[in-house]
Amino acid sequence: QKEVEQNSGPLSVPEGAIASLNCTYSDRGSQSFFWYRQYSGKSPELIMSIYSNGDKEDGRFTAQLNKASQYVSLLIRDSQPSDSATYLCAVMYSNYKLTFGKGTLLTVNP
Amino acid sequence: DTAVSQTPKYLVTQMGNDKSIKCEQNLGHDTMYWYKQDSKKFLKIMFSYNNKELIINETVPNRFSPKSPDKAHLNLHINSLELGDSAVYFCASSPARDSNTDTQYFGPGTRLTVL
């Protein structure tokens, strides 16, 4: 069974710190990886996608992908209280199904 | 100018009833999805349609029946509702199903409560 694993948290960081969110996946054939943010009571919102090994930066967010280790991470620099949410890692498997991890709850303390 | 919309936003009903949730997207996407998010926030795909054709049908009770009258709409009908059906149901859409870079955009969700 194809799986996506995330630490459920909660992960608590002080305002201004770097938050590091991690994800592993089981299918070596996966090509596409996504990070969604979900505020309580709201729908998932795409914040980053990554398809190649290495880093991809967008503002305060950096996604990192290591296909050999089947590992994808999201770094949030200069964390803000408004970043407090559940972060969902999603992997597009070779059968075109987007499989989500159970999410990591991030709390940024002022 | 809502991209993916769902109705209703909240649905409270008794066990055994039949209910429907509607979804519409105005993004011109070919593919639409239904996801279920349970009380532990686990988001799991149920169905996917590409241009009105069913392409993903996960292990879902046959009390759940999706219908796509056109590629902009995907409705979900649920018969004989059970307590365990209580969850948030999200509709999503994406430009095309056979692209590895396909990005899915989610609707606001429908919170279903079965009493």
Contact (CB, 8 A) for B46 and B34: yes
Q: What average pLDDT is seen over chain B?
A: 91
Query: Hey, are the CB atoms on A42 and B40 less than 8 Å from each other?
Result: no
Q: What is the mean pLDDT of residues B46-69?
A: 88
Q: Which of B40, B41, B100 sits opposite A31 (nearest CB)?
A: B100
pLDDT at B52: 82
pLDDT exceeds 90 at position A31: no
What's the pLDDT tens digit per position in A12-21?
Answer: 999 999 999 9
Query: Hey, are the CB atoms on A100 and B42 less than 8 Å from each other?
Result: yes
Which residues, numbered 19 to 78 in chain A, qualify as contacts with chain B under a Cβ-Cβ cut-off of 8 Å? 31-32, 34, 38, 42-46, 49, 51
> Letter for the amino acid at B114?
V
Question: What are the Cα distances from residue A5, in Å, to A50, A53, A70, B58, B102?
Answer: 17, 19, 11, 20, 21
| Residues pairing with A19 in the sheet | A76
Chain A residues near residue B2 by CB distance under 8 angstroms: none
Question: Looking at the complex, does the CB of residue A104 fall below 8 Å from at least one CB of chain B?
Answer: no
Q: What is the mean pLDDT of residues A67-72?
A: 94
Question: Looking at the complex, does the CB of residue A88 fall below 8 Å from at least one CB of chain B?
Answer: yes
Give me the residue label for tokens 């993004």: B27
Residue of B nearest to A33 (CA): B101
> What beta strand segments (E) does chain B contain?
4-7, 10-13, 19-25, 31-37, 43-50, 53-57, 64-70, 73-78, 87-94, 105-106, 110-114
What's the pLDDT tens digit per position in B64-115?
Answer: 999 999 989 999 999 999 999 999 999 999 987 666 567 899 999 999 999 9
pLDDT at B53: 85
Question: Looking at the complex, does the CB of residue B29 fall below 8 Å from at least one CB of chain A?
Answer: no
